Amino acid sequence: MLKQEIEDGQAGLADPAFRADVLNGLAARPRAIPARWFYDRRGSELFEDITQLPEYYPTRTETALLERVCPEVARETGTGGAVIEFGSGSSVKTPVLLRAVRPAAYVPIDISGDFLRDSAREIAAQFPVMAVEPVEGDFLKPLKLPAGIGGLARLGFFPGSTIGNMAPVAAVDLLRTMRGSLGEGSSLLIGIDRIKDPAVLVPAYDDAAGVTAAFNLNLLERINAELAGTIPVDAFAHVARWNEDRARIEMHLEATRAVAFEVDGRGFAMAAGETIHTENSHKYGDRDARLLLAAGGWTVTRAWSDEAGLFGLYLAEARAVEMAP
């Protein structure tokens, strides 16, 4: 994404893809905006706050799991290669992996440029002998990786169950895109959240302190700032619900009253109770996760879970396709 410059309260050039997704999403029925647009600087900061909340089990569960299994990952994949992290954010879990696999290079990829560069500097300070080459971009699309890692074995890293934000068809497409970017023979370490009691799931996306609500509503603030929007943010409420049929948590922004507003010069109106669907977080059983990875061109070689079975980590390899006998 192009870096967004805000000077003297005026928005710089908006990302054309952001504009298109917002305008098309608000015009669609039901209305929906892709979750990747949460992550401007403020959104990225709010998400890091979410990961520290008592209700939000995925981060602490996955981090503890990484501490336990990363030495095994290193034995499986070797050391001295390149770690490529998709959607790196603040990279808080990354040092756990880097200490174990001791790569020659680390390539964080993220759509939030400023946040990416800040995180990359912190990682470089922690690992001064390792090359750190950040790539600002949308990892949902094929990416050209830095030339400096051309001869190194590649280990993709996709923690946080971010794969769950995509519908299964889109998730398979992403896994195939990752395979294409990393190349045959590469490995992928991916976190995938498990199906569990909605009494545990829903509070993780609707915390008592209202941080997730602020994260969701920040999308409207971003639209107003970058796309000349006039959305009355105070007329919307954060909603999180479990969809049993689709095995996913859904986040919505619900209009609490009838509203009319403009975005990029186009007019929109919403009735009270109408929503903008902003995020899905699909949950997978172990067999489902393995099938998802296989459909994306990855062969699972190792899998781990915490004692309570809340979260899964999968190590997979991009192998040549085996033809049926």
**More confident of the two residues 233 and 112:** 233
Q: Is residue 120 within a helix (H) or strand (E), and if so which, with residue range?
A: helix 113-126
Rg of the chain, C-alpha, whole Å: 20
Cα end-to-end span (Å), the chain: 45
Q: Which of 84-88, 90-94, 181-185, 290-294 has the lowest mean pLDDT?
A: 90-94
Question: 143-184: per-residue pLDDT in tens?
Answer: 889 999 999 999 999 999 999 999 999 999 999 999 999 999
Taking the C-alpha atoms of residue 113 and residue 133, their distance in angstroms, rounded to an integer, is 13
Q: Which of 41-55, 226-240, 253-267 has the lowest mean pLDDT?
A: 41-55
Mean pLDDT of all residues in the chain?
A: 92
Q: What pLDDT was estimated at residue 324? A: 61
One DSSP character per residue, 12-60 reads -PPPHHHHHHHHHHHHSSSEE--GGGG-SHHHHHHHHHHTTSTT-HHHH
Report CA 12 to chain centroid distance, whole Å: 25
Q: Residue 168 corresponds to which amino acid?
A: P
Q: What pLDDT was estimated at residue 77? A: 97
Q: What percent of the chain has pLDDT over 70?
A: 94
Mean pLDDT for the stretch of residues 55-80:
97
Please give the C-alpha separations between residue 54 and each of 57, 61, 196, 200, in angstroms, as whole numbers: 7, 11, 17, 11
Facing residues of 223 across strands? none
Question: 278-320: per-residue pLDDT in tens?
Answer: 999 999 999 999 999 999 999 999 999 999 999 999 999 999 8
Q: What pLDDT was estimated at residue 90? A: 65
Query: Is pLDDT above 60 for 5?
Result: no
Q: How many CB atoms lie within 10 A of CB 184?
A: 12
Joined tokens for residue 111: 């759509």
For residues 188 and 316, the answer to whether their CB atoms sit within 8 Å is yes
Query: Is pLDDT above 80 for 7?
Result: no
Residues 6+ away with beta carbon under 8 Å from 166: 174, 280, 282
Residues 6+ away with beta carbon under 8 Å from 92: 48, 51, 59, 63
**Beta-sheet strands, E only, within the chain:** 6-7, 10-11, 31-32, 82-86, 105-110, 131-132, 135-136, 154-158, 187-193, 236-243, 248-255, 259-263, 266-270, 275-282, 299-305, 311-317
For residues 316 and 298, the answer to whether their CB atoms sit within 8 Å is yes
Taking the C-alpha atoms of residue 135 and residue 113, their distance in angstroms, rounded to an integer, is 8
**More confident of the two residues 323 and 25:** 25
Question: 108-138: per-residue pLDDT in tens?
Answer: 998 878 888 999 999 999 999 999 999 998 8
- DSSP state for residue 235 in the 8-state scheme: G
Question: 8-61: per-residue pLDDT in tens?
Answer: 333 446 889 999 999 999 999 999 999 989 999 899 899 999 999 999 999 999
Handedness of CA 216, 221, 224, 229 (dihedral sign): positive
Q: What pLDDT was estimated at residue 11? A: 40
Q: What pLDDT was estimated at residue 8? A: 32
- DSSP state for residue 231 in the 8-state scheme: -
Q: Which of 22-31, 80-89, 156-165, 265-274 has the lowest mean pLDDT?
A: 80-89
Joined tokens for residue 198: 């909605």
Position 6 confidence tier, pLDDT thresholds 50, 70, 90: very low
Query: Is pLDDT above 50 for 4?
Result: no
Q: How many CB atoms lie within 10 A of CB 244?
A: 9
